[in-house]
Structure 1
Amino acid sequence: MTFTAPPRTAAWRHLDARDGFEVAYFRSSDDGLLIEGCTTAVEEGQTWIVGYSIELDASWTTRSTRITGRSASGTRHTVLEADGAGHWRVDGAPAPHLDGCLDVDLESSAMTNAFPAHRMGLRVGDRSAAPAAYVRATDLAVERLEQDYVRVADEGPRQRYDYSAQVFDFACRLVYDESGLVLDYPEIAVRVA
């Protein structure tokens, strides 16, 4: 089962790990998709805002990401550029520690977990590694995040994936809607619109 086109907008309430809200807007372009959004949250007593603009190619591979973050320590900006073949530049400088990553994963966002599910096109029972350029919420530091997805049996029109990120000792079952956006991200967020 393939995903339908994303809606014009979607929103998530962040729970447990942080208290906050995310809104994203989706717009098709000639060669892919432009996603613009913002997350605001309180986490461990710190407030932060992260705004993003992400360009994906037709295969849902990340091509560029512009991020602005604001916290009590000030405002930061970061730009990631990717060639679509796993090579990245961060703020104009080569980033070999990200070699092989095809997705950006924003710590502040539940929406960015849609990228691997769309891009990989796994069948039920298939497993795939999906390393990502992981951008921290408070300081916009960019790290490599090793993560795995296993597609499990669908629940009606909803696709489900067992997700894990060993560095965080975290695993959960992600549930996606017909358009491939996360509905339920246990301990992180739930879709509200």
Structure 2
Amino acid sequence: MYSHYCWEPVGAVGFEDCAVAFTSGLRADGLVVAVDEGGDAARVRYRIRTDAEFGTETVRVDRLDVDDGDDAAVSESLSLVADRGSWTVDGEPTPELDGCVDVDIAVTPLTNTLPIRRLGLAPGESETIDAVYLDPRTLGVSRAEQRYTRLAPDEGADEDRYRYESLETGFAATLTVDAAGVVRDYPDLFRRVRSPPAE
């Protein structure tokens, strides 16, 4: 059964709706609409499937445009497949990504859920990972070294906190997540505005 999560970007115009199922891992189907500073809108659809341990198996990203017939159409797409640590991009072996387990799609906080669930860190524990970083604006992929640290929860809080760090850029943020490991608040970037009814 799929549950819907929605986020808004902080300080920008846009919206994301993502249907997520936690069945033998994670299945996700998300749609992101973003408006840049020039007023141009971009629509991106992504689909993710993991194994039972939340290691990424397949990813597809589509950039959507409206054609002259006013129908939504896929203008460009990218497909990634992981098989026991070896990756292909649009069917081509991509050895520079080999060994990565997680994917990080730039326009959504949903992909932070993958390492959070997979690592199963206890409060105070930290782990460094290599992720496949995917930028839907360019459809470019690269290897990214990242660190996740589970922080001690605030007293009486019904949520967990994780410190996310990009070891290449120096960017860091403290993420607030729910019991399923789905981001509620990503300071200065995303805030969740809709949760499944059970929350």
* Runs of 4+ with >4 A deviation: none
**Residue 53 (structure 2) pairs with residue 52 (structure 1):** no
1:26 corresponds in structure 2 to: 20
How far 1:167 moved relative to its partner? 3.1
The alpha-carbon deviation at position 7 of structure 1 amounts to 6.5
Tell me the equivalent position of 1:173: 174
| Aligned residue identity for 1:142 | V
Partner of 1:89: 88
Of all paired residues, the percent bearing the same amino acid is: 36
TM-score, normalized by length of structure 2?
0.85
CA shift digits 1:84-120 (9 cap, x unpaired): x322110001111112211111111111111110000
CA separation in 1, counterparts of 2:75 and 2:128?
33
Structure with the larger RCO, 1 or 2 (CA within 8 Å, 6+ apart):
1
Deviations 1:113-172 (A, max 9, x none): 111100000011111112211111212111112111111102323111111113333111
Bigger mean CA offset, 6-15 vs 144-153: 6-15
2:153 is paired with a residue of what secondary structure? strand
Note closer, same or farther for the CA distance 1:56–1:96 as it changes in structure 2 (3 Å cut).
same
Question: What secondary structure does 2:8 align onto?
Answer: strand
- Residue 140 of structure 2 aligns with an amino acid whose one-letter code is A
Structure 1: which 5+ residue stretches go unaligned?
A: 1-5
- Corresponding residue SS for 2:152: strand
* Contact 2:61–2:136 under 8 Å retained in 1: no
Q: Between Structure 1 and Structure 2, how many residues are aligned?
A: 184
Q: Which residue of 2 aligns with 1:108?
A: 107
Moved more, 138-147 or 110-119: 138-147
Where does residue 3 of structure 2 map in the other structure? 8
Q: Which has the larger radius of gyration?
A: 2
Flag the 1:61–1:110 CA change in 2: closer, same or farther, 3 A: same
Amino acid at match of 2:45: G
Shift of residue 75, structure 1, vs aligned partner = 1.7
Partner amino acid, structure 1, of 2:50: L
**SS in structure 2 at match of 1:192:** strand
Cα distance between partner residues in 2 of 1:7 and 1:27: 4
